[in-house]
Structure 1
Amino acid sequence: MDIEVWLTFIAATTALLAVPGPVVMLLLGYAVSGGRSVAAAAIPGVVLGDMVAMTLSLLGVGAILQTSATLFLVLKLAGAAYLICLGLKIWISEAASTSGERSDDTPSRTRIMRDAFLVTALNPKDIMFFVAFLPQFIDPTQPVLPQILLLELTFAGLVVFSTTAWVLLADRVVRRLRNPKTQRLVSRCGAGWLVAAGVVTAATQ
């Protein structure tokens, strides 16, 4: 792979990862409820989820999704339902803390990583995006496997950098918003955004 193509891939991926999405809202919710270390537990899940989506696209699953409307719909609705459930959990947890109740359902780091993984991997649109995105950077006249490995490792590194930056930014915002009412508002906005993202995902083609 030519260095120019690789640098173009880095620039394009960096621009894409700079746009906040459901994962960023999830990180924000965890940063509000548990701080930087809790939100950081989601990073491995995000990376693994993206790697699974990318690998599935390269294995031809994306092509199957393009031809099977039923399978695409099932995966899309599953991902949408999971986003909505996560948003409702964060909202209910915040409501419980507001009323003075102690929640016994404090998420473990394993559960946080699982949530981030499923939010990232359970999105057929991500798989189809990779189907359209990756071939632009692969030269068919050169060995394909080394190029795929380079793109996957590069993407994984950029995801780690991006999610770490979002976690640090979320933690900084939370630290500045020391007023409990403001923190509660931020948490609920994140929860509402997840629910809205789930509804939009389910409703769009």
Structure 2
Amino acid sequence: MALQTWWLYVTVVFLIAGTPGPNMLHVMVQSIQHGPRRALASMAGLMSAFLMCLLASAAGLGALLKASPMLYNAIRYAGVAYLVWLGIKAWRAPVASEEEAAATPQRSLRALYLTGLGTGLSNPKLIVFAAALFPQFLDIHLPFLPQLAILVGSFVVIECSWYSVYAVGGRSLARWLAPANRRKLFNRGSGLMFMGFGVALLGSRV
């Protein structure tokens, strides 16, 4: 892979990864609710989903989803339901005082990881996107696996960097959200955004 090609790939991924979406919203919400350190478990879940989708795409699942609209739609509807469920959960989240929040048991790292994993896997378009993106930057005259490792590794570094930005931003926002009325508005706003992402996914096509 030529250096110029890699730089083009990095630029494209950087812009796409930084675009606000359900994953970045999830990182920010978890950072606000549990702090940046515990939000690392959510980030790990999201990144695990990314790696699974990217590797599945490289293995040919992207082409399978394109060839089988029924399979794609089944996965898509499941993703829509999950995002809408996250939205309803965020909308209905109780707003506790600082004393009540301190006394409330924290969610386990495993639960945070699994929620992040579910959020990351809720969009089958990631697999199709990877299947369409990767071939544009692969040199058919060079070994496949080293190039795949470079593309995936670069994607992981860029995605994790954006996660950190949103997590730190979420923690800073947490101080502004200390009053109960602001936290309630944030919960409902983030809930509507999750449901909006679900509706957008419902209207998507391969």
Distance apart, 1:104 and its partner CA: 7.1
- For the pair 1:125 / 2:125, whether they are aligned, the reply is yes
What is the percentage of aligned positions where both structures have the same residue? 24
CA deviation after TM superposition for structure 1 residue 31, in Å: 2.6
C-alpha separation between the residues in 2 aligned to 1:44 and 1:69? 30
What residue is the counterpart of 2:186 in the other structure?
A: 186
Counterpart of 2:198? 198
Q: Which residue of 1 aligns with 2:56?
A: 56
C-alpha distance in structure 2 between counterparts of 1:88 and 1:53, whole Å: 26
- Structure 2's unaligned 5+ residue stretches are none
User: Shift of the alpha carbon at 1:182?
Assistant: 1.1
Question: Where does structure 1 differ by over 4 angstroms across 4 or more consecutive aligned residues?
Answer: 100-106
| 1:144 aligns to 2:144 (yes or no) | yes
> How does the TM-score come out when normalised to structure 1?
0.90
1:41 aligns to what? 41
Deviations 1:76-132 (A, max 9, x none): 01111111112222222236x48x988978532211111111211232111000111
Aligned to 1:156: 156
Report what 1:4 is aligned to. Answer: 4
1:25 matched to 2:29? The reply is no
Secondary structure in 2 matching 1:41: helix
- Check whether the contact 1:29–1:191 (CA below 8 A) recurs between aligned residues: no
- Name the structure 1 match of 2:16: 16
Provide the C-alpha distance between the structure 2 equivalents of 1:55 and 1:5, rounded to a whole number of angstroms.
21
Q: CA deviation at 1:49?
A: 0.8
* Matched residue, 2:69: 69
In structure 1, stretches of 5+ residues that fail to align are none
**How many angstroms apart in 1 are the aligned matches of 2:148 and 2:33?**
38
Equivalent pair of 1:80/1:198 in contact (CA under 8 Å): yes
* Alignment pair present for 1:134 and 2:134: yes
SS in structure 2 opposite 1:78?
helix
CA contact (8 A) 2:45 2:113 kept: yes
Deviation at 1:180, TM superposition (A): 2.4
Report how many residues are paired: 203
